[in-house]
Amino acid sequence: MSELEQLSVGAVLNLFTFDGLYAVAYAWLFGMSLWISFFGGVIAFRTLPRAQFGALQHKTFPIYFVLSMGLGSTLLGLWTLNHPAVLTHYASPLVADVAQAYTLAYIILAQASNYFIVGPLTSKTMFERMRLEKDEGKTYNESGVSDNMKALNRRFGMLHGISSLANLGAVIALGFHGLWIGNAGLKP
């Protein structure tokens, strides 16, 4: 029979290792990404009036993107420190450790594009559409809206689609990375 492990202050402090911190950062990022992408947004969309939903997304997503970039950067930094092959073979994406670094870098770039470019353009278009709805006295999806509204609808749809695809790519990349570390572990 195996010996029972006793908890102590020292045992708890010993939990703060590379592996432990990496696991917490990864879990935070993956869990947050799943929640925002597939649950929280859907619940808010079904629950809130459209204007309130838009305002909520406008406030929520920048925070989500910043946290994603920060946690992704932390993971990439820790991964690179623990896997020296990343620096010596950075131009070889088929080297497993390098592929994982590229995966983490993709997550950072996808969320950075959402934070710095696509997100602000999407919000700007959404608010322009809301103003035009007030001016025209019609919602964006009613028949007989102006050509300006139709153009804003197309632009919003395109931007929202790009943002969603970048975010979905980041979630898939996180899933891939999680499967990798779950099977191969964190050691080089």
| Chain position carrying tokens 């870098």 | 105
CA distances from 71 to 42, 49, 101, 120 (A): 24, 32, 14, 21
Sites in the chain below the pLDDT cut of 50 = none
Q: Judge contact between 167 and 67, C-beta under 8 A.
A: no
Rounded to two decimals, the pTM is 0.92
Residue 115's nearest CA partner among 76, 149, 150, 73 is 73
Q: Rounded CA gap, 23 and 185, in Å?
A: 10
Q: So what's the pLDDT on residue 1?
A: 65
DSSP per residue, 105-167: HHHHHHHHHIIIIIHHHHHHHHHHHHHHHHHHTS-TTSTT--HHHHHHHHHHHHHHHHHHHHH
Phi-psi region of 138 (alpha: psi -120 to 50; beta: other; left: phi over 0): beta
Which pLDDT does position 2 carry in this prediction? 80
Neighbours of 115 (CB within 10 A): 18
Residue 96: the pLDDT is 97
